[in-house]
Amino acid sequence: MATKLNKKALAHARKLVKEGKVEHDSRDDWSEHAPSTEQENTFIDKNGFADFAAWHLGLDPDASEGTKGSVSFPFGDFKKVHRCAVVSLESRAAQHDHDDIAAAAKKLLEEIDAD
């Protein structure tokens, strides 16, 4: 089964955008702004995997639940939504035919840009 849209994460992202917790960064900044493996592990240790998953728009039902491989398409740094992450994930989702994730990212970008 293909990666599917994580609706809980999308709701989380929209809530953060409405609260103004957005980094309006440049398109290509995500490689520098993305959390490191160490930061991800620290976040999981402190907050649990469910909170980690809430920062990813993709869920892979075929991957082992509760593993980093079960989530994809991150959109922020565990504090804010990053515009550059949403731009990046929209493009990657479209390239890999994850149409529901790409569409959700496009709508999220519209919400960010309206902010």
Domain locations along the chain: 4-114
pTM of the entire predicted model? 0.94
Q: How confident is the prediction along the chain (115 residues), in pLDDT tens digits per residue?
A: 589 999 999 999 999 999 999 999 987 899 899 999 999 999 999 999 999 999 999 999 999 989 999 999 999 999 999 999 999 999 999 999 999 999 999 999 999 999 6
Cα angle at 60 between 55 and 66, to 5 degrees? 65
**CA dist list (Å): 11 to 32, 33, 35, 54, 62:** 25, 22, 21, 9, 23
